[in-house]
Chains A and B, each alone.
Chain A
Amino acid sequence: MKRFMHKSNLITLIYKDFRLEWRNKFALGGVILYLISTVFVTYLAFDGVIEMRTWNALFWLILLFAATNAILKSFIQEGENRQLFYYPLTNAREVIGAKIIYNSALMIVLSLAGLLVFIAFMGNPLQNTPVFLANMLLGTVGLASVLTLVSAIAARAKNNFTLMAILGFPLVLPLLLMTIRVSELGLSGGSFAAAAGDVLIILLIISIAVVLSVLLFPYIWRE
């Protein structure tokens, strides 16, 4: 026990989440398969003919659904008994902080995988790759930071994907709209300077979401 909580709790908790994911590879594999099959369905449905703006919108929609799926399980997969075990060992702020960081990392991996698959099937319209990639990383971190608290709420309500989606989608909209805008810049060859204002807003939304999550999660962590 001493060894388990020896390092900073936050790092231990993140490490624990990675180990959990590693032990239960099917869950991660499931999300990746979900991502690939949605892309494939899109590819068949659009029959390969696709314009840049449509490409962008579809890409982000698929990421949004994958994110909702992947983040939903972050609290559900650890049962209530496990939470009882955490109560004396750590505190709520560290738990939610660790989850947000872990989900961000997970989403970065998922978005990179998604991008590769998407380019393979739907073509590669990227004209300014650094802008597109930087924005994609920022956007997925944003999705993780908004959706983590929502997934905690949905898990406490013992509900499924539907509740997570109806609670989460209207909340990620501001972030998603800004991200899609910057993403379009990356696709059409815009520069970092042109995106600066929007990127600041995205950073602002992320910080608001993280601060609120850390402030509010303690109220719902303990039953």
Chain B
Amino acid sequence: MDQVKKNWWKLTGIVLLLYVIVGGLLFDVPQLDNLLQSIRSIYFHVGMWFGMIFILGVGLVFSIRYLSTSDPKDDLRALSAVKTGLLFGFLGLLTGMIWAKFTWGAFWLNDPKLNGAVVGVFIYLAYMVLRSSVDDREKRAKLAAVYSIFAFVLFIVFIMILPRTATFSIHPGIESNPALVPGDLAAEMRPVFYPAMIGWFIMSYWLYRIMFRVSVLAEMTKELSENKKTEG
């Protein structure tokens, strides 16, 4: 019973996503030209992007906290969040490319939303490169935290102004965030879409927690082997 009490949110996530997989594939969806059944991708593809932004936001919070606490664990938390965000980013690109191939006829098109996604992935890959190029732990953590705060804010600005820079997009709702505006999404899709988003948030947070625990263990084994070397 204790386990259930402690892990209720994970159970909620599992139940939600199981429901989304079944409901997403079986429930009625509007029949639109061109999209046809591929519209069901929205439950999975859009979930990747929302999950990515959500978990990167979590990473931002820990980066800010690191600067005031200087606790190495906060740095590892921020790093784990970025890794999870990158995973979701790649999955978002992948699912998007498959969807695009079947709907628009090509894996890649010059589109502001696609470009925004790629820039996000670039920023956080650069973050990983920055980390790997500094040896000193404390210095690495500080530089990484400062960069990720700076980058996250500019990335959000970028996503917000991107629609302005394009006169044309194959994504719907170029003026705003589609699927979030009430009435934008067909009524029969909402009972699956909203649970799907919550489910993906939970899944990304869960993954981040696992990544964090793995990196804490990795740090500990590294320290142990370093101590052994100095003693031996």
Instruction: Name the CB-closest residue of B to A167.
Output: B126
* Contact present for B133 and A163 (CB under 8 Å): yes
Q: Which of A146, A166, A217 contacts B126 (CB 8 A)?
A: A166
Contact of B153 among A159, A197, A208 (CB under 8 A): A208
Contact of A216 among B122, B149, B162, B165 (CB under 8 A): B149
- The interface size of chain B toward A, counting residues with CB under 8 Å, comes to 28
Which of B91-99, B137-145, B185-193, B202-210 faces chain A?
B137-145
**Distance between Cα atoms of A208 and B134 in the complex (Å):** 27
CB-defined contacts of B133 to chain A, threshold 8 Å: 157-159, 163
For B151, what are the chain A residues with a Cβ–Cβ distance below 8 Å? Answer: 170-171
Cα distance A198–B163 in the bound complex, in angstroms: 12
A216 to B146, Cβ gap below 8 A? yes
Known: A146-B154, A157-B134, A178-B161. A166 touches B147 (CB 8 A): no
Nearest opposing residue in chain B for A146, CB measure:
B154
- Is B146 within 8 A of A170, CB to CB? no
Report Cα–Cα, A114/B207, bound state, in Å: 49
Secondary structure of the A contact surface, majority rule: helix
What is the distance, in angstroms, from B120's C-beta to the closest C-beta of chain A?
8
Contact between A171 and B130 (Cβ–Cβ < 8 Å)?
no
Interface centre among B146, B151, B158, B164 (most CB of A within 10 A): B146
Q: In this assembly, does B129 line the interface, its C-beta being within 8 Å of a C-beta of chain A? A: yes
Contact with B along A157-192 (1 / 0, CB 8 A): 111000100110111011001100100000000000
Interchain CA distance A166-B164 in the complex, whole Å:
25
Interface: B39 (CB within 8 A): no
Could you name 7 residue pairs across A and B whose Cβ atoms are closer than 8 Å?
Answer: A163-B129, A167-B147, A170-B155, A171-B150, A171-B151, A205-B157, A219-B67
Q: Which residues of A contact B (CB under 8 A)?
A: 146, 149-150, 153, 156-159, 163, 166-167, 169-171, 173-174, 177-178, 181, 197-198, 201, 204-205, 208-209, 212-213, 216-217, 219-220, 223
